[in-house]
Structures are given as structure tokens and as C-alpha cells.
Amino acid sequence: MVRTVIELGRRDLLVVAGLPGAGKTTMLRRAAGPLRVLDSDQVRRRLDAVVPAAVPYRLYRPVVHLCHRARIVLSAALRRGPLVVHEPATRSSTRRWLTAVAAGTRRPARLLWLDATADQALAGQRRRARVVRSRSFVRHVARARAVREDLCAGRVPPGFDSAQVLTRSAARHAVLALRPGAGAPTRRSGPRSPRSAARTDRTRTAAATRTGRPAARGTAG
């Protein structure tokens, strides 16, 4: 088994994209670990719990997507670590919006495209018991074909710093992880306050008393 490790920097905004049903949710559930994942299904489940069952999803779908986008903006602006965004992103307008959010919050934008055929994606939708409307799915397929051609030719979509294509088989063994050192806390720089310096000198003196060695003396100034 070959494991694919996708390393993220401390400020990366990773867009996990591809056809609905391609396997994005399944991969992220297994591979993301403690990383922050933003998925419109998270919003939908919360609304499903309060919206009457008689109300069809199509009536509150716009609210779901509006809340999802608001979460992306707020998380990108306020959270300190990397973000993983679950989004089909077959529309160029969606990709432009995501890269604008990344640029506005000073985050590198990265694209991870899960490659799946239309038949594979439809099978995935049926397994999750949520099938995209036929007309909408046909549009997704047509747009995804153009995105895939660009990616396979080595062309990175405008606004993204990097792009990677992942097959369904590779996605089954993929792991998202922080790049080594990316999560290390930053050390405070600059001169110490007099109170902090006094505490440090007292600690050094106490340590010297216990060990019998002279304490290091600071310079006045």
C-alpha cells in the first residue's frame, strides 16, 4: 500500500474539489485528522434539525450555501491554522471567490482535485443516498472536464499557488498533515521587561545556590 501524504503549511487554504460523489467527504473523514474542515453538509445537518421535514431542501439550499461561505470567510480571517474547504469548485466563479478569500486573508491557496468519472460520481451519490439533480450534475460534469484537462496538462487554475490531482484509489490512502515545523509556536522577540528580567535573574541565582556555580550576571544599561 502506497500512502499519499499531503503536507499543509500553517496558513494554507486547501480546497478539496471534484464532482459531487467523487469521494471528497469520505477521504476527509478519514484523512483530515485534527485539521479544520469546512463542509456545506455540516451546515445542512444543523438546519435539517430545525427545519420542518415538510420543507424541501431546495427552498433553504441558498441559506445553506450562504452560511457555508460565511464560515469560510470568518475561519480564514480569524483562525490561525490551516483550513480545508470541501467544495466541488467546478465553477470558475467559485474558484475565483475562494482564491480571493485566500488572498484577502494572506493564505496560500491550494487545490486538491479528486478525479472521478461521471459514473463513479453517480455511484458515490447513490451510496450516500443523496443524488444531485440530473441537469445540475450534467453541468458539473461538463465544467469538471475542462478543469481536469487543464490540471492534467500541468496548468494551475488562476489564483491558486499549487494544484494536485488525486485518483480515487490514491484518495483511499491519502493523509493530510501539517508540514514539519509548520505548527511550531513563534518565539517572542524583543527586549524583556524589567519584571521578567528580575524573575530570570532570581531563578539563575537560586539555581546557582543549589548547584554551587556562580550565576551569570547580566549587563546593566
83 in any annotated domain: yes
| Structural domain contains residue 52 | yes
d(CA 108, CA 103): 7
Q: How far is CA 136 from CA 5, 27, 40, 167, 187, in A?
A: 33, 23, 17, 23, 50
Q: Does residue 75 fall inside a structural domain?
A: yes
Q: Is residue 71 part of a domain?
A: yes
Q: Do 114 and 201 fall into the same domain?
A: no
Q: What total of structural domains would you count in the chain?
A: 2
Sign of the torsion angle spanned by Cα atoms 131, 137, 140, 145:
positive
Residue 161 structural domain? 4-178
Q: Tell me the pLDDT of the chain (221 aa) as tens digits.
A: 678 899 999 999 999 999 999 999 999 998 888 899 999 999 999 999 999 999 999 999 999 999 999 999 999 999 999 999 999 999 999 999 999 999 999 999 999 999 999 999 999 999 988 899 999 999 999 999 999 999 999 999 999 999 999 998 899 899 999 988 766 434 333 444 444 444 444 434 344 333 344 334 343 33
CATH code at 44?
Answer: 3.40.50.300
* Residues 36 and 130 grouped into a single domain: yes
14 and 80 belong to one structural domain: yes
